[in-house]
Amino acid sequence: MTDADFEAEAIGADLPVLVEFTADWCPPCRQMGPVLKALAFEEGDRLKVVQLDVDSNP
């Protein structure tokens, strides 16, 4: 997700949205990646999980 589509993807979503604000240099963010991907797979019909890179989208 980017700043350009944040409103449509997050604010305008039909489901609740979990946004992970992440960066390549952030070790905890990298650790959470697989956990959030698994959550998105398991709960995809009830929850939308997206990532927003804070370096690319300040």
Confidence of residue 2 (pLDDT cuts 50, 70, 90): very high
Confidence of residue 19 (pLDDT cuts 50, 70, 90): very high
pLDDT at 36: 96
Residue 58 reports pLDDT greater than 90: no
Residue 54 reports pLDDT greater than 90: yes
Which residue out of 10, 17, 19, 26 is catalytically annotated?
26
CA distances from 34 to 14, 39, 58 (A): 24, 9, 23
Q: Does residue 29 have an active-site annotation? A: yes
> What is the chain's mean pLDDT, rounded?
95
Which residue out of 10, 17, 18, 29 is catalytically annotated?
29
C-alpha 15/C-alpha 31 separation (Å) is 25
Show the domains of the chain with their CATH numbers: 3-53 (3.40.30.10)
Confidence of residue 26 (pLDDT cuts 50, 70, 90): very high
At 4, the amino acid letter reads A
C-alpha 57/C-alpha 40 separation (Å) is 22
